[in-house]
A and B are shown apart, each in its own frame.
Chain A
Amino acid sequence: MLILKPASHADDMEVDRKEEIVTPGQVITKDLAFMRGHGTFTLNEQLVASVAGKIERVNKLVSVKPLKTRFNGEIGDVVVGRIAELGNKRWRVDIQGRQEATLLLSSINLPGGVQRRKNEADEMEMRSFFAEGDMLSAEVQAFFGDGGCSLHTRSFKYGKLRNGCLVVAPSALIKRSKSHFISLSCGVDVVLGLNGYIWVQKHVFISPEMQNQPEGLYINENDEISMEEREAISRVCNIITALVNHKQMIYETIIVFMYENSLEYQPVELLSADLQKSLIDSAISQLEAAE
């Protein structure tokens, strides 16, 4: 939860407030010693915020992390995206950012071996790999000059997503952590895309042999999913929606806590506003107790 403190005049040299929220145009500091990072600019020899958000200070670097913004990726970020269109030896992927991301044909794993030269047949068959509308998980490889990112799926972790459904969250609520591929005990996997797209799917056990089975990469069909699995998936989806509605950061631990607390209810009941609030409150108290 965000705590708003009344802003006082930033006359001092130090910028040492832990949880300061600033608004665009608000003066952060008058000290010229600081370097300006993202979300700030200089005006009349003063450092002024250009977005509404939290001040972050790393040594001499001051930046403002905006409260609500479109996805700004870093290299190495895990994202979940939807193919928007096919281009010239590439796909354009919608990742809820300022621009659509690019997935080059050369950045995907092709069936028939890890390293294989692309030939023209591949070009014609692009749709057999990813068609419009397909969901996939990928990693940000690089940035183009205009700010758009280039993705790759060159690991078996990444690739086409199936056996589940999508939940949309604001990208700011996804907490950065070590692993974005979560496996819950109930047989549900969650892919937390840092761009805000979250894929909840039935847990699929990938045996090492399968890793070498290139044909399995682009299957366009779901496996059999039982009723209980569906229920579990819908439960997780609703939990994540609850977190989004209450502007709570989304990460593994809290999902787990909430899942456990929610077991006594039906997935449908989890849609009610009151229940969501109480679950979140109890999860938070659990977290604080755990610290």
Chain B
Amino acid sequence: MISKVEKDYISKGIAAGIRNDGRGPNESRQLELETGIINQASGSCRVSVRGGTEVLVGIKVSVGDIQELDTRDEEEEAMKNRADVGRIVCSVECSPSAKIVLDKRQIEEMCILYTQILNRTLNGPQGGLDLYKLCIIPGSVCWILNIDVLILNYGGSVFDAIFMAVRGAIHNTRLAKVKVESTDGAFDFEVEDDETEVLEGRENVPVAVTAFQIDKNHVIDAMPLEEQCSDSSVSVMVNKHGKLCGVQKGLKGSLETSLLINMIQHCQNKGQEVISAMDSFLAQEERRIIDLVEPVGFR
């Protein structure tokens, strides 16, 4: 809910280059990122943005049959026919205690939408991860990464935070080493006790940057009121090498092509920045984990 005067204030401000909290249209808020906070998961990450958004991602690995895939997506159908890849299953959920101004149905739709985008983006070469390495026994057994996202609090720019947390969790995930033995054509495998292997290709996982269009301008890392001023948004998934891994248009309005291209460009550039900042931070996190320093966890 937003009043006309607030909308006017915000859009004029953005046109002048200054937002409600003084940021420029391209500036994002400070955020905290922590990995390895859930012991039971093989990988986990928490991202909280100063301004309210808090997202928790946990990754649990399991082994499963390659044939068993129940998807409605055609692209995933294509992946399914490959007998030598592992797979990623995502799910996005909103905690009931999150402060969201949307009603229940809208929240559910939002979660379903995010789930689909995550599934689509990660289950394929554009997702960065080497899915072939997740195969244990070709044709029968593979690793399955179950990525579960929990939105703890809503303060705008949730989708970006989700993707960042997913990337952080993937970086943090460790698999157990698998030894495969074959006898007369039959295969069996054993797992080691400890999880020591990193996921191949984790540095190529993209991040998402969402730009909300307000009149003729757009803002990145929008706050809830700004989101309500906007008619359409574009989420761009971009990876370390600057390649576009996915694009999603949101909200109900229409966009002019030139504006769209502009927004995508900006998001791409912003994405690169985010990734480089993240990578150095994730390296720090790894060192912290090796040094067995306890994370802060939840406050």
Whether chain A touches chain B in the assembled complex (some CB pair under 8 Å): yes
A residues engaging B (CB < 8 A)?
82-84, 94, 131-135, 160-166, 220-222, 225, 227, 230-231, 233-235, 237-238, 241, 245, 266-268, 270-273
Pairs A-B, 5 closest by C-beta atoms: A267-B22, A234-B22, A162-B5, A133-B3, A134-B3
Given the complex, which residues of B lie within 8 Å of A270, measured CB to CB?
22
Given the complex, which residues of A lie within 8 Å of B225, measured CB to CB?
165-166
Contact string, B164-181, partner A, CB cutoff 8 A, digits 1/0?
000000000000000000
The residue that A268 contacts in the complex, of B1, B8, B9, B22, with Cβ under 8 A, is B22
The residue that B4 contacts in the complex, of A133, A227, A271, A273, with Cβ under 8 A, is A133
B23 contacts the other chain (Cβ, under 8 Å)? yes
Residue of B whose beta carbon sits closest to that of A130: B3
- B1, B13, B225 interface centre (most CB from chain A within 10 Å): B1
Other CB < 8 Å A-B pairs besides A222-B12, A241-B21, 17 of them? A131-B4, A133-B2, A134-B3, A162-B9, A164-B9, A166-B6, A221-B8, A222-B5, A222-B9, A225-B9, A227-B18, A230-B16, A234-B20, A245-B50, A268-B23, A271-B22, A271-B30
Given the complex, which residues of B lie within 8 Å of A225, measured CB to CB?
9, 12-13
Q: Could you jot down 11 A-B contacts, CB within 8 Å? A: A131-B3, A132-B1, A134-B3, A135-B3, A163-B9, A166-B225, A220-B5, A221-B5, A234-B20, A234-B21, A245-B50
Given the complex, which residues of A lie within 8 Å of B2, measured CB to CB?
133
B residues engaging A (CB < 8 A)?
1-6, 8-10, 12-13, 16, 18-24, 27, 29-30, 50, 225
Asked if residues A267 and B21 are in contact (CB atoms below 8 Å), the reply is yes
Give the A-B pair count, Cβ closer than 8 A. 84
Given the complex, which residues of B lie within 8 Å of A82, measured CB to CB?
1, 3
Bound Cα distance from A271 to B22, whole angstroms? 9
Asked if residues A234 and B5 are in contact (CB atoms below 8 Å), the reply is no
Given the complex, which residues of A lie within 8 Å of B19, measured CB to CB?
234
Closest CB in chain A relative to B56 CB, distance in Å? 20
Residue of B whose beta carbon sits closest to that of A235: B22
Bound Cα distance from A245 to B1, whole angstroms? 24
Asked if residues B9 and A266 are in contact (CB atoms below 8 Å), the reply is no
The residue that B18 contacts in the complex, of A133, A222, A231, with Cβ under 8 A, is A231
Bound Cα distance from A48 to B16, whole angstroms? 56
Bound Cα distance from A233 to B19, whole angstroms? 10
Asked if residues B22 and A165 are in contact (CB atoms below 8 Å), the reply is no
Closest CB in chain B relative to A193 CB, distance in Å? 15
Bound Cα distance from A237 to B51, whole angstroms? 12
Given the complex, which residues of A lie within 8 Å of B50, measured CB to CB?
245, 271, 273
Asked if residues B18 and A230 are in contact (CB atoms below 8 Å), the reply is yes
Bound Cα distance from A220 to B5, whole angstroms? 6
Bound Cα distance from A225 to B19, whole angstroms? 13
Given the complex, which residues of B lie within 8 Å of A267, measured CB to CB?
18, 21-22
Closest CB in chain B relative to A47 CB, distance in Å? 31
Residue of A whose beta carbon sits closest to that of B224: A168
- B1, B18, B19, B21 interface centre (most CB from chain A within 10 Å): B21
Residue of A whose beta carbon sits closest to that of B228: A133
The residue that A273 contacts in the complex, of B12, B13, B16, B30, with Cβ under 8 A, is B30
Asked if residues A271 and B23 are in contact (CB atoms below 8 Å), the reply is yes
Given the complex, which residues of B lie within 8 Å of A83, measured CB to CB?
3
- B20, B22, B30 interface centre (most CB from chain A within 10 Å): B22
With A166-B225, A234-B22 known as contacts, the answer to whether A133 contacts B30 (CB < 8 A) is: no
Bound Cα distance from A166 to B3, whole angstroms? 11
- A163, A164, A222 interface centre (most CB from chain B within 10 Å): A222
Given the complex, which residues of A lie within 8 Å of B18, measured CB to CB?
227, 230-231, 234, 267
Given the complex, which residues of B lie within 8 Å of A272, measured CB to CB?
30
With A225-B12, A273-B50 known as contacts, the answer to whether A163 contacts B5 (CB < 8 A) is: yes
Closest CB in chain A relative to B54 CB, distance in Å? 14
Bound Cα distance from A161 to B22, whole angstroms? 20
